[in-house]
């Protein structure tokens, strides 16, 4: 399945990835190639096959509702690119 | 809205589940409206690299309580899914929610409406996690947003009703009923203002009699029941006007602006959002075994609608009184316990003393019924004393205030303050006589035919007795004596 | 006596225990080796020299005071840089995490620290473990100690090169689609991917959550078994870890495989496999037969679908796992006046081409209208692949085949064509998708002197059987003892 330029723009927006025009052109071709390869899966009949996820199921692994300690705030904020008043600071959401 | 259209409304309700710890980590759940920012956060709920979710059992149990109370089918296996979107309050870039196989589906609840009971379908009940909190600051070039993650990962319950609501009243009552159920189940305190309970109606209109589905609008940002009603009225009128003018309703999410009293478009950029749901690979399927469900079901308290029914049918209260009593579980339980303790008063009188003097006291002093220093038994005793005539109603009200202040038993207070009602016929007769003798002018008025002067005498005598006189006996004694004076005059 | 950096793990443990040398001496020997050789190999992204020596001194002190020392006290370890170690940088080979300092330690690492080990440093990796050569590292490419012009394999290429080059006695890697076994094969060391759910993923910077495993790269199977025994087991912080009791793999003293049946899948000996690789692997299988194992041909009919399944599922999971890198809380931020644009520019500049490519594929595969065609279908075919193995394990105890189709390729050789690079993983992907354990062991060299790896697979949680068979092979052969001359 070949991707259009519009498809690439849309996916990049969904993934919040800024791509240069050159990257978009390259990805359009590479992604189309990969998808063509992946299309081999469509030939398999999986009508009665259940979907598999990763692990072997051994239970829901619920945790008892006991509150523990939060992390020291400085450990949380020490990696912040920008901060103010003990919070992470980001540019505004512009409409 | 003109009568040509019918409203079609469903509710999407998000309730913070008031567990000790968060949904997927053991951070404490704190009140994010007034806590220091970022003090209840760990690497998991901060979305740090390499962190994994582990599901809180209590959150599942809370959700099951609500799902069972709403008569839902419980999915023995439900699946968590990642709902992907980018926003600064969403640390992982996805919210862990439930999508294709939610915890529970196909339930219902009954709500009262003016035209009788309405059955409202429940489409689904599922679990998800809350986001962090954003604070927008500054103006123009200085605009910025601060991110506090205390709320990130707090367990949320989502309830989606069928669009079975067709009047503002029904929407309101449905919202109340859901809130009341969650409060009964001790899942959520029902606070809209703090955002612990978020009610988001989806609204459309259609020609009356039509079964067609129309385009819906979702409304967010409703911080009170009052806003819910106002927003509904506004939006229904807006849609009717739009359709009348030949326009079409656009599917969108609107925010309610309480100050302007109107709905505003929200998140215009997110119109075509695509959440890319897929099963959360870090969490095994949630398997809820039958035994656990039965245990939770067995522990469910009697719910408000059932209680109301019982109060009407078995106890003989009016539907109105019953409704007032069941609105809060603690009140209903107080009533039930007091009902078991009364000997002389009847249920109706007890109900009136709760919805009257007791509610007044609670409202005035900001008490909740649980925080009162006395329980239902002393209260029943007080009402019994009124019923038997040991004290009168106005003394009982002041005794009640004192009970609230110091927690003392009503009998003690009545004794200490000498409030016991004067019920001896001799004493009452003497009291009436004293007042009549002192006020010859008013006696003359009565004799002359002014019957209403009796009330004046009653007031004077009651004052003289410091409110302790048995009112029925007093009125009777005054009337007998005054009538005697009138008869004497006529005879002479 | 051999130089300290030439010792394998068992010799190091024994020497420390006997007091032949101190932990400081041992640690310093590896740090010196890093100092000498890492300029050429570029295996390490971060060397924690001072921290390691401080811990070595503490270990020596503890050993002096306490006769009951923990089993791995004072033994150095290299850790792939996708595993968090508290207060040590964790970059995952990406610019977007440059400078990130976690306050937590991955459970797998923590268990080794608790057993007394110390961390020498963090090893290079393809960015977010996406790659087969370390060429996708945002920082530099690691060189294969057997031929510096060639890749060490990937994504755990830094760990593989560190162990092969004698820069660390043993190292941790992670394996999503083959990222421990493939570099082990290309660098001439042994590498274990355990059963999915056997080792905790807590603190592993996620790539494909339903596939990621923490594994070990070492000089011998016996060395690997020592670490695996310590790391394995349920972790309350990782809901996908298993409750099953951890079988401590006790390695046999005699190279005897009587009673064991080994399956050889037709699908793993196909056109495209380098003749020297096939010859060496067949010879190794013969060696297993010589020790008494019965060998029979089997079929894993859905093998060819593993690549397309993997290249849907892993990117789909990755597209969500990597959404957290948004410039808000840690790592890189590229400034912009609007937060959405800040996200886009941070991610656009912070991620390298392969990561962006996979995020794009994964996002597409999950997007409205395509989910069933891609993600849904891939999950179902994954079931078919798992059933292939289940059926095979009804007939055989273990499965053997080549780890990779070829030996180490030249740096830059495949970097233009992502699909060609993905073919490196054809033989490691199916077992990864099935969640079963696999181990790669050196079984010879090609005509250019480059190492060849054979992998063995076992059913879920049969690590003991797997390690025992691989160990038996190393008892009778010496391929794993060969060292490159760097």
Spell out the domain ranges in chain B. Answer: 5-295, 304-416, 425-491
Which of B241-255, B411-425, C179-193 reaches the highest mean pLDDT? C179-193
Predicted ipTM beyond 0.95:
yes
- Of B435-439, C24-28, C116-120, minimum mean pLDDT range: B435-439
Per-residue model confidence as pLDDT tens digits over B136-182: 999 988 999 999 999 999 999 999 999 999 999 999 999 999 999 99
* Domain CATH for C153: 3.90.1300.10
- Asked if B285 has any chain C CB less than 8 Å from its own CB, the reply is no
> Domain span at residue C52?
4-259+397-481
3-state DSSP of chain C:
CCCHHHCCHHHHHHHHHHCCCCHHHHHHHHHHHHHHHHHHHCCEEEECHHHHHHHHHHHHHHHHHCCCCCCCCCCEEEEECCECCCCCCCCCCCHHHCCCCCCCCCHHHHHHHHCCCEEEEEECCCHHHCCCCCCCCCCCCCCECCECCECCCCCCHHHHHHHHCCCCCEEEEEECCCCCHHHHHHHCCEEEECCCCCCCCCCECCCCCCCCEEEEEECCHHHHHHHHHHHCCCCCCCCCCCCCCCCCCCCCCCCCCCCCEEEEEHHHCCCCCCHHHHHHHHHHHHHHHHCCCEEEEECCCCHHHHHHHHHHHHHHHHHHHHHHCCCCCCCCCCCCCCHHHHHHHHHHHHCCHHHHHHHHHHHHHHCCCCCHHHHHHHHHHHHHHHHHHHHHHHHCCEEEEECCCCCCCECCCCCCCHHHHHHHHCCCHHHHHHCCCEEEEEEEECCCCCEEEEEEECCCCCHHHHHHHHHHHHHHCCHHHCCCCC
Greater confidence, A12 or B472?
A12
- CB contact under 8 Å between C92 and B49, yes or no, is yes
Per-residue model confidence as pLDDT tens digits over B205-255: 999 888 888 899 999 999 999 999 999 999 999 999 999 999 899 888 899
- Specify the pLDDT at position B45: 98
Per-residue model confidence as pLDDT tens digits over A35-81: 999 999 999 999 999 998 766 889 999 999 999 999 999 999 999 99
Chain C residues with CB under 8 Å of A8 CB are 360
Of the options 2.60.40, 1.10.20, 3.30.1460, 1.10.3470, the CATH number for the domain spanning A5-41: 1.10.20
Inter-residue contact C97 to C351 (CB < 8 Å): no
- Asked if B281 has any chain A CB less than 8 Å from its own CB, the reply is yes
- Specify the pLDDT at position C422: 85
Per-residue model confidence as pLDDT tens digits over C78-93: 999 999 999 999 999 9
- CB contact under 8 Å between C102 and B51, yes or no, is no
pTM, 2 dp: 0.91
- Asked if A3 has any chain C CB less than 8 Å from its own CB, the reply is yes
Which residues of C are tagged catalytic? 80, 155, 179
- Of B71-80, B157-166, B429-438, minimum mean pLDDT range: B429-438
* pLDDT of residue C103 exceeding 60: yes
- Specify the pLDDT at position B269: 45
* pLDDT of residue B1 exceeding 60: no
- Specify the pLDDT at position B140: 86
Which DSSP helix (H) or strand (E) runs through B334? helix B329-341
- Specify the pLDDT at position C252: 78
Nearest-CA distance C380 → chain A (Å)? 4
Six-digit token pair at B207?
A: 């020609």
What is the C-alpha separation between B278 and C396, in angstroms, rounded? 35
Instruction: Give me the number of domains chain C comprises.
Output: 1
Chains in contact with chain C (at least 3 beta-carbon pairs closer than 8 A)? A, B
* pLDDT of residue B271 exceeding 60: no
- Specify the pLDDT at position C68: 82
Q: What angle do CA B181, B182, B187 make, to 5 degrees?
A: 150
- Specify the pLDDT at position B267: 60
* pLDDT of residue B273 exceeding 90: no
A 13-72: CB under 8 A from C = 14-19, 23, 27, 30-31, 33-35, 37-42, 44, 46, 49-56, 58-59, 61, 63, 71-72
* pLDDT of residue C210 exceeding 80: yes
Architecture of domain B425-491: Orthogonal Bundle (1.10)
Determine the residue of chain B that is closest to C364 in CA distance.
Answer: B276
- Asked if B248 has any chain A CB less than 8 Å from its own CB, the reply is no
Chain A residues with CB under 8 Å of B286 CB are 60
What is the C-alpha separation between B111 and B177, in angstroms, rounded? 7
Q: Is residue C24 part of a domain?
A: yes
Average pLDDT estimate for C458-485: 96
Q: Is residue C282 part of a domain?
A: no
């Amino acid at each position: 399945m070949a991707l259009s330029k519009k498809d690439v723009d849309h996916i990049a927006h969904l993934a919040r990835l800024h791509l240069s025009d050159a990257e978009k052109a390259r990805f359009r071709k590479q992604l189309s190639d990969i998808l063509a390869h992946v299309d081999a899966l469509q030939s398999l009949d999986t009508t009665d096959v259940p979907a598999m996820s990763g692990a072997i199921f051994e239970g829901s692994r619920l945790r008892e509702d006991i509150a523990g300690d939060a992390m020291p705030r400085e450990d949380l904020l020490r990696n912040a690119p920008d901060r103010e008043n003990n919070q992470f600071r980001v540019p505004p959401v512009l409409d | 809205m003109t009568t040509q259209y019918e409203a079609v409304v469903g509710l999407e309700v998000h309730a913070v589940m008031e567990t000790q710890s968060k949904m997927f980590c053991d951070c404490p759940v704190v009140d994010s409206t007034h806590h220091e920012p970022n003090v209840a956060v760990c690497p998991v709920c901060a979305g740090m690299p390499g962190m994994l979710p582990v599901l809180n059992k209590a959150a599942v149990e809370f959700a099951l309580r609500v799902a069972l109370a709403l008569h839902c089918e419980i999915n023995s296996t439900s699946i968590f899914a990642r709902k992907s979107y980018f926003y600064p309050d969403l640390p992982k870039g996805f919210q862990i929610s439930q999508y294709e196989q939610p915890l529970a589906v196909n339930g219902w609840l009954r709500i009262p409406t003016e035209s009788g009971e309405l059955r409202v379908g429940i489409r689904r009940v599922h679990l998800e996690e809350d986001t962090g909190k954003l604070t927008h600051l500054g103006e123009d070039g200085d605009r910025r947003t601060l991110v506090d993650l205390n709320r990130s990962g707090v367990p949320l319950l989502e309830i989606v009703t069928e669009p079975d609501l067709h009047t503002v009243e029904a929407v309101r009552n449905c919202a109340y009923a859901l809130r009341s159920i969650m409060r009964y189940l001790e899942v959520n305190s029902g606070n809209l203002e703090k955002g612990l309970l978020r009610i988001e109606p989806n609204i459309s209109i259609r020609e009356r009699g039509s079964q067609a589905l129309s385009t819906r609008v979702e409304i967010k940002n409703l911080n009170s029941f009052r806003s819910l009603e106002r927003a509904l009225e506004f939006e229904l009128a807006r849609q009717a006007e739009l359709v009348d003018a030949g326009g079409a309703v656009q599917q969108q999410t609107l925010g309610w602006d309480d100050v302007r009293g109107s709905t505003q478009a929200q998140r215009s950029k997110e119109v075509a959002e695509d959440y890319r749901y897929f099963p959360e690979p870090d969490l095994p399927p949630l398997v809820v075994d039958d035994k656990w469900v039965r245990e939770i079901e067995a522990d469910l308290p009697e719910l408000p609608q059932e209680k109301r029914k019982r109060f009407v049918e078995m106890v003989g209260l009016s539907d109105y009184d019953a409704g007032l009593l069941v609105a809060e579980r603690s009140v209903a339980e107080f009533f039930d316990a007091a009902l078991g303790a009364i000997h002389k008063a009847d249920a109706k009188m007890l109900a009136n003393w709760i919805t009257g003097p007791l509610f007044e006291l609670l409202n005035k002093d900001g008490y909740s019924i649980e925080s009162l220093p006395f329980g239902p038994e002393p209260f029943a005793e007080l009402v019994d004393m009124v019923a038997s005539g040991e004290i009168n109603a106005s003394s009982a009200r002041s005794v009640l205030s004192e009970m609230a202040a110091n927690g003392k038993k009503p009998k003690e207070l009545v004794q200490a303050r000498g409030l016991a009602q004067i019920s001896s016929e001799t004493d009452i007769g003497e009291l009436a006589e004293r007042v009549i003798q002192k006020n010859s002018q008013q006696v003359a008025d009565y004799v002359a035919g002014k019957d209403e002067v009796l009330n004046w005498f009653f007031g004077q005598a009651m004052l003289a007795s410091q409110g302790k006189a048995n009112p029925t006996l007093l009125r009777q004694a005054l009337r007998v004596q005054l009538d005697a004076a009138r008869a004497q005059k006529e005879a002479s | 006596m051999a130089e300290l950096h030439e010792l394998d793990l068992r010799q190091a443990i024994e020497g420390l225990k006997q007091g032949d040398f101190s932990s400081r001496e041992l640690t310093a020997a590896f740090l010196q080796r890093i100092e000498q050789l890492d300029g050429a190999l570029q295996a390490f992204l971060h060397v924690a020299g001072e921290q390691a020596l401080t811990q070595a001194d503490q270990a020596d002190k503890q050993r002096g005071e306490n006769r009951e020392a923990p089993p791995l006290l004072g033994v150095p370890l290299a850790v792939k840089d996708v595993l968090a170690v508290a207060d040590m940088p964790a970059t995952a080979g990406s610019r977007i995490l440059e400078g990130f300092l976690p306050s937590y330690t991955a459970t797998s690492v923590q268990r080794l620290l608790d057993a007394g080990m110390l961390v020498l440093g963090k090893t290079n990796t393809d960015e977010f473990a996406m790659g087969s050569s370390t060429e996708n590292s945002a920082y530099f490419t690691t060189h294969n100690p057997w031929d510096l012009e060639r890749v060490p394999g990937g994504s755990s290429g830094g760990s593989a090169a560190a162990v092969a080059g004698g820069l660390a006695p043993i190292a941790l890697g992670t394996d999503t689609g083959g990222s421990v076994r493939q570099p082990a094969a290309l660098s001439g060391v042994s590498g274990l991917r355990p059963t999915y759910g056997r080792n905790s993923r807590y603190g592993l910077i996620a790539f494909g959550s339903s596939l990621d495993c923490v594994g070990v790269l070492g000089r011998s199977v016996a060395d690997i078994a020592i670490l695996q025994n310590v790391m394995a087991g349920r972790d309350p912080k990782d809901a996908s870890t298993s409750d099953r009791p951890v079988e401590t793999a006790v390695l046999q003293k005699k190279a005897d495989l009587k009673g064991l049946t080994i399956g050889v899948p037709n699908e793993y000996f196909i056109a495209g496999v380098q003749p020297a690789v096939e010859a060496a692997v067949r010879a190794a299988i013969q060696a297993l037969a010589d020790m008494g194992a019965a060998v029979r041909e089997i079929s894993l009919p859905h093998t060819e679908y593993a690549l397309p399944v993997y290249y849907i599922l892993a990117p789909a999971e990755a597209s969500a796992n990597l959404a957290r890198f948004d410039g808000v809380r840690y790592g890189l931020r590229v400034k912009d006046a609007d937060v959405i644009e800040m996200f886009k520019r941070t991610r656009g500049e912070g991620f390298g081409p392969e990561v962006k490519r996979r995020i794009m594929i994964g996002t597409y595969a999950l997007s409205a209208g395509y989910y069933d065609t891609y993600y849904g279908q891939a999950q179902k075919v994954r079931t078919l692949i798992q059933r292939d193995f289940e059926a095979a394990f009804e007939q055989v105890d273990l499965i053997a085949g080549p780890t990779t189709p070829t030996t180490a390729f030249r740096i830059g050789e495949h970097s233009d064509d992502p699909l060609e690079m993905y073919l490196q993983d054809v033989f490691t992907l199916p077992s990864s998708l099935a969640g079963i354990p696999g181990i790669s062991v050196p079984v010879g060299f090609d005509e250019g002197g480059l190492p060849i790896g054979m992998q063995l697979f076992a059913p879920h949680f049969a690590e003991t059987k797997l390690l025992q068979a691989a160990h038996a092979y190393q008892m009778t052969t010496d391929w794993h003892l060969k060292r490159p001359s760097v």
